Amino acid sequence: MKEENVLVTGGAGFIGSALVRELLKRNANVIVYDNFLYGDHSNLRGIENRIQMVNGDVLSWKLYHTIKKYKVKYVFHLAAEPYIPRCYDNPEKFFDVNVKGTINTLMACKTLDVNLVVHFSSSEVYGTAQYVPMDEKHPTLPLSTYAVSKLAADRICFVFSREHNIPVVIVRPFNCYGPRETQPYVIPEIITQLSRGNTLKLGNIEAKRDFTYVEDIARGAVSVMKSDIQSGEVVNLGSNKAYSIKKLAHLVGEIMDHDDIEIEIEESRLRPLDVDILQCDYSKAKKYLSWEPEVSIEEGLKNTVKWYVENGNRWSWERWL
């Protein structure tokens, strides 16, 4: 990636900003393309002078002009409507951004001869595990509008790789977590609540998820660039370890020096349809990317709590509250 011009849609977001830092480690020339609706300038603090930043939407022709202006050769597509609870109230927006935005990105890349697109999907497209660990051949049975929109975008990537000869690889992260979270997902929610006391209000605490540290995900995605994975293919990125939300809450509690925590189930936090378990089989990533997760759940949670405390006990998403 040295001296290559790389564009990251959603580069000011949670995973996007970690990916930008990973690319800078490889001495890439990075262009961040973000509308800053969920992404935040603070996520790029300390690296602003090493990147180009463009305020733009993936549904806009500005994306085409940005790729052309900077002679971009590689694109990481992360821009999305990402927060599942929000999809119930505004399903159309999720399809506009996640599906139409992906089409616009792919067609811009086709027109301007981009060498490779890495499209970020989600483990949510699988739905509840039919078997564990879950490989790329696992059935796709999405249980939310968000997950359906991401699966539609995945299929578009596959079909466009054939119909339009667009080089694109799909990565499916499993429940990414870490510093700079831009949405009130379960880990930042637990940390926030425990910073105010030892009582937690949560939803389905028996659900199990494969929590994977954000820097591991970023490293895996960049590794796609030098791999032999064929265009249109999918690769999972996860840890092959599943933790219940209840177990997770107690792990965070220990890190934040709570000898005991109380958990209350709040009905409003329960989803109409929920995924019971997600657990990743990352054998394909290990084979083709020489990738394995390196950060344990304990280390990752400690890093996340440390970042939260050092940044004023506040996440960027709290600006909406």
Instruction: Give helix then strand counts, H and E, for the chain.
Output: 11, 13
Exactly one of 38, 146, 243, 282 is catalytic; which is it? 146
Cα–Cα distance measured from residue 253 to residue 256, given in angstroms and rounded to the nearest whole number? 5
Helix (H) or strand (E) holding 29: strand 29-34
Residue 70 annotated among the catalytic residues of the structure: no
- Structure tokens that stand for 34 in this block: 């973000």
Q: Give the residue carrying structure tokens 């849609």.
A: 9
Nearest to 15 by CA among 168, 177, 146: 177
Q: Taking a C-beta distance cutoff of 8 angstroms, is the pair 301, 239 a contact?
A: no
Cα–Cα distance measured from residue 78 to residue 56, given in angstroms and rounded to the nearest whole number? 13
Q: Give the burial string for 247-274 (b: 16+ CB within 10 Å, else e).
A: ebbbbbbebbebeebebeeeeeeeeeee
- Which residues form the catalytic set? 146
